[in-house]
A and B are shown apart, each in its own frame.
Chain A
Amino acid sequence: MKLSRALGASVFAAILMTGGCDTVWHPSIPPVAGPAEFPTGQIARGAELAAIGDCSVCHTTEGSRPYASGRGVQTPFGVVYATNITPDPETGIGTWPESAFRRAMREGVDRDGRNLYPVFPYPHFTRATDRDIAALYAFLMTRPAVHADTPPNRLPFPLNQRFVLTGWDHLYLRPGAWQPDPAHDADWNRGAYLVEAVGHCGGCHTPRNVLGAETDGQALAGGEAENWYAPPLQAASPARQGWSVDSLTAYLRTGFDAGHGAAAGPMTAVTAELATVPAADVRAMAVYLTSMMPKPAPAPVVAHAGEDPVFAGACGGCHGPDAPMMRNGAPSLAMSTAVNAPTPRGTIQAILQGLPWREGQAAPYMPPFASVLTDAQIAELAAYLRSAYSDKPAWRDLPAEVARVRGAS
């Protein structure tokens, strides 16, 4: 594992340095002394954009102050820590003028001129309008300043040398403003802008290439986030029951839809953020996304085949046919996208980690089973779920996949 990671890193660096021969040196932008004043309306719009952009998903850790960060994001190359984006002058972005913030959003370069890792989705943010970037800036600069250092990234040499990212940008960063599609209406275009530019849904839902860039021509074709399965959001959507604008809007705003189930993994936090966004914006996103998905049709009923004692004892209290949750509107596991997906990763992760509590909110929850079940038992349980609740072919290499997911999480 370590060897292959190091090898990958070297190849990565080699490619990048080749691509980066026309290295651009980014100047430092002089610091400003805060705090600046902003119109309330601009701050409010920035708050909504920050929620659509899910900034806090990476820039807030459990229990920390909002946007003070410190969260380590698992990537195939190592751990990259999200930075403190509160206006603290020493550890945050308190000395950043708007021009520096805009440059970070557009070019992935910090105020000092250092390249940022593309875990920060500037390839998407680069499409955001000046007005929206300014609103985001206004919002962030009016947060309480929190003094909190960001831990050093855990990346192997030479990836820990930021100059290699110049090559990456050369290869994969496509600057330019968002272009509306005149063939579609305003709602669709609004949704497309929010999904592609600010919401950066492709950050998780688009497959990444060997250099960690979203694969060309594969937009929203399904990817992964922190070892969770991120299903395709286009024609290949494996949803058992197709998404309608209404159901997807409801899901995005509540983290739950009766025809599909509950948001899990990193998506839980995304939906928690979207709950605070104007419904029209989320609906526009749903209009855009569903326009690429198969038309909703009644889901075929999958016969529940046989009993399994592990399922009955561990899962049946909630997911069993007689369970109170099922008698009160929760969908059958047959409706679960994870159970019907081509990869077992979502199912395995849900079993291992469950769904976390959302403080003070009535919301779906599931306990973790990582300590209850062995890898072999989880593999058997996943196989049972697939056979009992899906008509798709059995997953292959389940035990190995369980071990891989558990080891990586």
Chain B
Amino acid sequence: MNTVLSRRGLLALGGGLAVAFSLRAEEPARPGSLKGTPSLDAWIRVAPDGRVTVFTGKAELGQGIKTALLQVAAEQLDVPVAHIDLVTADTMRTPNEGFTAGSHSMQDSGTAILNAAAQVRGVLVAAAARDLGVAAETLTTVDGTVHAADGRSAGYGPLAATLNLHIDAEPTSTLKDPSAYRSMGTPMPRVDIPAKLTGGQAYVQDMRLPGMLHARAIRQPSVGAMLLDIDTGPIEAMPGVVTVVRQGSYLAVVARKEWQAVKAMRALEAAAQWRETASLPDQATVLDLLAGLPSRVIPVLDWKGRAGAPMKRLKARYTRPYLMHGAIGPSCAVAQLTDGTMTVWTHTQGVYPLRSALAGLLRMPVDRVHCIHVEGSGCYGHNAADDVAGDAVLIARAVPGHPIRVQWMREQEHTNEPYGAAMIAEVEGAIDAAGNIVDWNYGVWSNTHNRRPNVGGLMLQNAALPDPLPVPPPAPIPMPEGGGERNSNPIYAFPNAKVVSHFIPEMPVRVSALRSLGAYLNVFAIESFMDELAEAANADPVDFRLRHLKDERAKAVVSLAADKFGWGAGKRGEGRGFGFARYKNLGAYCAIALALRVEHETGRIRLGRVVAAVDSGQVVNPDGIRNQIEGAIVQAASWTMYETVRFDRQRILSRDWSGYPILRFPAAPESISVHIVPRPGQPFLGTGEAGQGPMAAAIANAVRDAAGVRLRDVPLSAVRVKAAVGV
């Protein structure tokens, strides 16, 4: 594996080492995930019959990545999509692309496949040129065949049979002219949808392997609970029960049929005696508790420049509670131990890291664990997908040979998934006499946003086992991606700005990655505060944003959303709100304008028209982009209007959808329209997490416009809105 140190890494090293490596760093890096996996045949193989197999280390999470990657490969290879098989994340077959997270799939894998496909096509054309004795430039490719001007042709299959594609990719590729694209940029129906609409096998939950047994794990009722005593005899005698697995405080049951496993699990839960401690914080004061915990200060940026004298200064604090991923389908995995190898079918976002974690949990060599991604219910980050695989392997080890299917129950998913972290942001800003922002001071406080398991100590089961592995301390995700500080760096051009992140290692509640990480709160805070400053400057919120933006693509997105919404024709007080961000300031740009109504009597927010504009760079599947943005808008509406994980000092109280209500159809917006800025030939920009922050801010800004109240604490629940608006 080639490791190319980044410039950032070199700067950190300093001294003589940096000199020694500097020449290496001058070489252009390979694009996307070709950096880590440069061999062309790791990505693309062409069979003698011309059928193409494309490999990706990324996983389909319902974001449509399979379809988009097929479109990319088809485009650059000049092969019909129907002639391509796509293999997704599998530790024995595909490149290691880490996690399918951070809206990186198109940037990493899409870019790798784009370039690998173009280069494979180049290799095939070169071979044809040699065979046909003509110049490569005179050849054209159509549907898996190379054509010469004189009518002769050569199929990809026979050509590939003579070639070695086990060669490293070049740093640069000859890509097609975007104006000639036929597949990329055109809406394509998702390849995974037909099975989902007809009852086909579509999910790991649907797997049925020969000899498969059903298992359920019994979760500790609270963090650190110790299993005191249990008589498993009566449960082992229940119909269909194969065995009860017990290791320390870890308890599970295996049965022939799923309902038998559920009943046995309930009986085990009733029989188990636990010693519990009150280890959770007081929910009412948890944000203050977090703010008071020891934290590590991470400077994000410090801009100093000349600016006008500050005339008005504002200060505000914004917060979000713990939020739940809340997959509709509880997490599921299937595992089977055969011949000393543990095979795991899982909907994890990272098959390779999970493999290491499971190997650690099992005390098995990594190469004896094989993780294969199979789709599950949407996860929206690090939910219970990995942990249920931990159950599957622990139980499968106890029942060798049999595939073991484990699915969590609803209350297990609700109370044991790692939540999105509660957070606080404080911002102070000043405007000058002309109404321009001259000073900006921003601080954010957060736990980690990444406890994804790559070692056994990070698996949920670890604490219940008799000999737990060491648990690594939580670590921040460095900028420019950032964890809690993601998107804390404003995209606006302020002359003076200081941004500091306070990383809090101690986690009163278990947390990890939830879609968009810290960007949800940071964008909510920044974009709310931009409106507060605009109001202080007596400026229109859209104009105010535009005059503080230098990035032309950002301006284009803001303007497009405003135009399509008809912002200019609106009036203050109509319940209009605007929000904008570029995800991580590296990914897609997304602006949202919306209208809503505040019901004074109930405090309920009624969402009207929502208009979004997005710039995702080169578009592959425009309908996929629209679907992702629509989803972000509705999901963020639910987070922003309703959601809070509830707990007492001992247990999580949000045990099902009645205790953690989310948005239902009657409360969905009246309409959503998504407008895409075409950027042919530009790099792909991840889109899956671009809309959440802007939507939250647009809601809060519209509530301010509609009802005259500024709400800075998510959720903007009916009770809070009602308390703020009075009568």
Consider the complex of A and B and state whether they touch directly, i.e. have CB atoms less than 8 Å apart: yes
Taking CB atoms, residues of chain B closer than 8 Å to A26 are: none
Which residue among B409, B602, B641, B654 has the maximum number of chain A CB atoms within 10 Å of its CB?
Answer: B602
Q: Report the nearest A residue to B410, measured CB to CB.
A: A324
- Tell me the residues in window 644-678 of chain B with beta carbons closer than 8 Å to chain A beta carbons: 646, 651, 653-661, 664, 666-667
Taking CB atoms, residues of chain B closer than 8 Å to A56 are: 601
Which residue among A47, A324, A325, A361 has the maximum number of chain B CB atoms within 10 Å of its CB?
Answer: A324
Measured CB to CB, the closest approach of chain B to A138, in angstroms, equals 9
What is the bound-complex CA distance between A325 and B411, given in angstroms? Answer: 9
What is the bound-complex CA distance between A44 and B726, given in angstroms? Answer: 7
Interface size counted on chain B using CB atoms at 8 A: 33
Measured CB to CB, the closest approach of chain A to B641, in angstroms, equals 6
Contact, CB under 8 Å: A276 / B722: yes
User: Given known contacts A47-B727, A322-B267, is B601 in contact with A360 (CB within 8 Å)?
Assistant: no
Partner of A359, one of B269, B659, B661: B661
What is the bound-complex CA distance between A228 and B658, given in angstroms? Answer: 23
Contact, CB under 8 Å: A362 / B646: yes
Contact, CB under 8 Å: A360 / B727: no
What is the bound-complex CA distance between A328 and B270, given in angstroms? Answer: 12
Q: Is B203's beta carbon under 8 Å from chain A?
A: no
Contact, CB under 8 Å: A363 / B599: no
Contact, CB under 8 Å: B717 / A44: no
Q: Is B600's beta carbon under 8 Å from chain A?
A: yes
Measured CB to CB, the closest approach of chain B to A55, in angstroms, equals 10
Contact, CB under 8 Å: A364 / B658: yes
Contact, CB under 8 Å: B722 / A362: no
Majority SS at the chain A contact face: loop
- Tell me the residues in window 356-378 of chain A with beta carbons closer than 8 Å to chain B beta carbons: 357-365
Counting residue pairs across A and B whose Cβ atoms lie within 8 Å, the total is 71
What is the bound-complex CA distance between A323 and B600, given in angstroms? Answer: 39
Q: Is A327's beta carbon under 8 Å from chain B?
A: yes
What is the bound-complex CA distance between A139 and B410, given in angstroms? Answer: 43
Contact with B along A32-70 (1 / 0, CB 8 A): 000000001001101100000000100000110111000
Q: Is A31's beta carbon under 8 Å from chain B?
A: no
Contact, CB under 8 Å: B664 / A357: yes
Q: Is B626's beta carbon under 8 Å from chain A?
A: no
User: Given known contacts A357-B661, A361-B718, is B411 in contact with A324 (CB within 8 Å)?
Assistant: yes
- Tell me the residues in window 107-147 of chain A with beta carbons closer than 8 Å to chain B beta carbons: 139, 142-144
Contact, CB under 8 Å: B658 / A363: yes
Majority SS at the chain B contact face: loop
Measured CB to CB, the closest approach of chain B to A360, in angstroms, equals 4
What is the bound-complex CA distance between A47 and B604, given in angstroms? Answer: 16
Taking CB atoms, residues of chain A closer than 8 Å to B641 are: 360
Contact, CB under 8 Å: A66 / B266: no
Partner of B727, one of A62, A142, A324: A142
Q: Is A78's beta carbon under 8 Å from chain B?
A: no
What is the bound-complex CA distance between A40 and B655, given in angstroms? Answer: 40
Contact with B along A327-368 (1 / 0, CB 8 A): 110000000000000000000000000000111111111000
Contact, CB under 8 Å: B655 / A324: yes
Measured CB to CB, the closest approach of chain B to A277, in angstroms, equals 12
Measured CB to CB, the closest approach of chain B to A258, in angstroms, equals 13
User: Given known contacts A44-B727, A328-B651, is B270 in contact with A360 (CB within 8 Å)?
Assistant: no
What is the bound-complex CA distance between A56 and B601, given in angstroms? Answer: 10
Taking CB atoms, residues of chain B closer than 8 Å to A357 are: 658, 661, 664
Contact, CB under 8 Å: B727 / A40: yes
Q: Is A321's beta carbon under 8 Å from chain B?
A: yes
Interface size counted on chain A using CB atoms at 8 A: 33
Measured CB to CB, the closest approach of chain A to B719, in angstroms, equals 8
What is the bound-complex CA distance between A320 and B726, given in angstroms? Answer: 42
User: Given known contacts A359-B667, A361-B718, A363-B658, is B266 in contact with A43 (CB within 8 Å)?
Assistant: no
Which residue among B411, B657, B658, B659 has the maximum number of chain A CB atoms within 10 Å of its CB?
Answer: B658
- Tell me the residues in window 218-268 of chain A with beta carbons closer than 8 Å to chain B beta carbons: none
Contact, CB under 8 Å: A67 / B601: yes
Contact, CB under 8 Å: A66 / B269: no
Contact, CB under 8 Å: B601 / A143: yes
Contact, CB under 8 Å: A322 / B266: yes
Q: Report the nearest A residue to B221, measured CB to CB.
A: A327
What is the bound-complex CA distance between A65 and B651, given in angstroms? Answer: 38
Taking CB atoms, residues of chain B closer than 8 Å to A359 are: 604, 661, 664, 666-667, 718
Taking CB atoms, residues of chain A closer than 8 Å to B646 are: 362
What is the bound-complex CA distance between A365 and B641, given in angstroms? Answer: 20
Taking CB atoms, residues of chain A closer than 8 Å to B667 are: 359-360
Q: Is B567's beta carbon under 8 Å from chain A?
A: no
Taking CB atoms, residues of chain A closer than 8 Å to B601 are: 47, 56, 66-67, 143
Contact, CB under 8 Å: B658 / A43: no
Taking CB atoms, residues of chain B closer than 8 Å to A66 are: 599, 601-602
Contact, CB under 8 Å: A365 / B658: yes
What is the bound-complex CA distance between A363 and B601, given in angstroms? Answer: 19
Q: Is B492's beta carbon under 8 Å from chain A?
A: no
Q: Is B642's beta carbon under 8 Å from chain A?
A: yes
Contact with A along B49-82 (1 / 0, CB 8 A): 0000000000000000000000000000000000
Taking CB atoms, residues of chain A closer than 8 Å to B666 are: 62-63, 359
Binding site for A on B (CB under 8 A): 221, 266-267, 269-270, 409, 411, 599-602, 604, 641-642, 646, 651, 653-661, 664, 666-667, 717-718, 722, 726-727
Known: A321-B270, A322-B269, A357-B661. 17 other contacts (CB 8 A): A40-B726, A40-B727, A56-B601, A63-B666, A67-B601, A322-B267, A357-B664, A358-B661, A359-B661, A359-B664, A360-B641, A360-B642, A360-B718, A361-B661, A362-B654, A362-B658, A362-B659
Can you name 30 A-B residue pairings with CB atoms under 8 Å? A40-B727, A44-B726, A44-B727, A46-B727, A56-B601, A62-B666, A65-B599, A66-B599, A142-B727, A143-B600, A276-B722, A320-B266, A322-B269, A324-B411, A324-B655, A324-B656, A328-B653, A358-B661, A359-B604, A359-B664, A360-B667, A360-B717, A360-B718, A361-B718, A362-B653, A362-B654, A362-B658, A363-B658, A363-B661, A365-B657
Interface pairs A-B: 9 shortest CB-CB: A322-B266, A66-B601, A360-B642, A365-B658, A324-B411, A322-B270, A43-B727, A47-B727, A362-B659
